[in-house]
């Protein structure tokens, strides 16, 4: 399995940013209230990122050789897939919240602090989940030359 490519994450974040901006603009243009993500969303995304990195710690210890215990290969695979999904989800959440933030900041009406602060927290939460996913994915990587097949380069655990 290959590592998540930065271009994929940037592309997802850019598309989500555009969708978030256009969706909020369309809602306001139709007379509906703008979508403002709650601050709890950002906090939950940060907590999820911490949990994902914590789940990857046993896999990392075995991959580095600092632990004598074996890790269930199914556990390692699940953590790796969760890490990959988290980085993609973080890009989507962060991008969408960034689009909402961009819309709120570019409105001609006075800046509503009640809209900006929770949206910034949601953007930070999305970015934290993205980074945690990338870190956990790298933690589940076997060092070069240590994989079972003896092939060159690091392979995902």
Alpha helices in the chain (DSSP H): 6-29, 39-64, 73-106, 113-139
User: Is 36 part of any domain?
Assistant: yes
Determine the structural domain holding residue 16 and report its residue range: 6-139
User: Is 129 part of any domain?
Assistant: yes
117-150 pLDDT, tens digit each? 999 999 999 999 999 999 999 998 877 765 555 4
User: Is 151 part of any domain?
Assistant: no
pLDDT of residue 68: 79
Task: Enter the tokens of residue 90.
Answer: 């973080």
User: Is 34 part of any domain?
Assistant: yes
User: Is 1 part of any domain?
Assistant: no
> Cβ–Cβ contacts within 10 Å for residue 135, how many?
17
In terms of residues, how long is the chain?
Answer: 157
**Is residue 123 exposed (0-12), middle (13-18) or buried (19+ Cβ within 10 Å)?**
buried
Confidence of residue 157 (pLDDT cuts 50, 70, 90): low
Q: Which of these ranges, 8-17, 19-28, 100-109, has the smallest mean pLDDT? A: 100-109
32-42 pLDDT, tens digit each? 888 889 999 99
User: Is 33 part of any domain?
Assistant: yes
User: Is 155 part of any domain?
Assistant: no
Average pLDDT over all residues of the chain: 88
pTM given for the model: 0.85
Q: How far is CA 47 from CA 38, 68, 90, 117, 130, in A?
A: 15, 29, 12, 18, 12
Task: Enter the tokens of residue 100.
Answer: 């909402």
User: Is 146 part of any domain?
Assistant: no
The total number of structural domains that make up the chain: 1
Which has more confidence, 140 or 84? 84
Region 98-115 average pLDDT? 82
């Amino acid at each position: 399995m290959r590592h998540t490519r930065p271009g994929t994450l940037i592309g997802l974040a850019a598309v989500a940013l555009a969708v978030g901006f256009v969706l909020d603009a369309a809602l306001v243009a139709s007379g509906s209230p703008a979508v403002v993500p709650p601050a709890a969303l950002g906090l939950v995304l940060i907590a999820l990122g911490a949990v994902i990195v914590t789940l990857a710690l046993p896999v990392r210890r075995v991959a580095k050789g600092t632990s004598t215990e074996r890790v269930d290969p199914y556990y390692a695979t699940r953590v790796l897939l969760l890490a990959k999904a988290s980085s993609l989800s973080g890009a989507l959440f962060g991008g969408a919240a960034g689009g909402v933030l961009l819309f709120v900041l570019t409105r001609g009406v006075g800046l509503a602090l009640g809209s900006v602060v929770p949206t910034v927290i949601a953007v930070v939460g999305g970015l934290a989940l993205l980074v945690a996913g990338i870190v956990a994915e790298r933690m589940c990587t076997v060092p070069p030359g240590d994989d079972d097949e003896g092939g060159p380069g690091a392979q995902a655990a």
